[in-house]
């Protein structure tokens, strides 16, 4: 099943968090936080302005983005958890 987000929404797949520190210590699953980085897997058509025109989104499929800890709504698509969020919840794009 494919998911096509509407308007200014994007679908983000979280990136896996490191389970080992730089010093080699393994962090147990109970002490790891959800990563706040993800890869854009789908984007909407854009934000509709008051005059009826559509402003394209600044992000595109494949971008790696940073977002807040409580950003977006988590859903499962084909058994995989993804986040659906508005573009303005994205803090930045990693280069």
Q: With respect to residue 2, please indicate whether it lies within any of the assigned structural domains.
A: no
Is 92 in contact with 58 (CB distance < 8 Å)?
no
Q: With respect to residue 54, please indicate whether it lies within any of the assigned structural domains.
A: yes
User: Where is pLDDT greater, at 19 or 89?
Assistant: 89
Q: With respect to residue 37, please indicate whether it lies within any of the assigned structural domains.
A: yes
Give the CATH number of the domain where residue 44 resides.
Answer: 2.30.33.40
Give per-residue pLDDT as tens, 20-72: 667 777 766 665 566 689 999 999 999 888 998 989 999 999 999 999 988 99
Distance from C-alpha of 44 to C-alpha of 87, rounded to nearest angstrom: 9
The pLDDT assigned to 81 comes to 92
Q: Which range marks the domain in which residue 54 is found?
A: 9-17+26-94
Is 71 in contact with 83 (CB distance < 8 Å)?
yes
Give per-residue pLDDT as tens, 63-92: 999 999 889 999 998 889 999 999 999 999
């Amino acid at each position: 099943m494919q998911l096509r987000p509407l308007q200014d929404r994007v679908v983000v797949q979280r990136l896996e968090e490191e389970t080992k520190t730089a010093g080699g210590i393994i962090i147990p699953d109970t002490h790891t936080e959800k990563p706040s980085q993800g890869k854009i897997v789908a984007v909407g058509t854009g934000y509709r302005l008051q005059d009826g025109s559509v402003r394209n989104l600044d992000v595109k499929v494949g971008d790696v983005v940073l977002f807040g800890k409580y950003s977006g709504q988590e859903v499962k698509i084909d058994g995989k958890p993804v986040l659906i969020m508005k573009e303005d919840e994205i803090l930045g794009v990693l280069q």
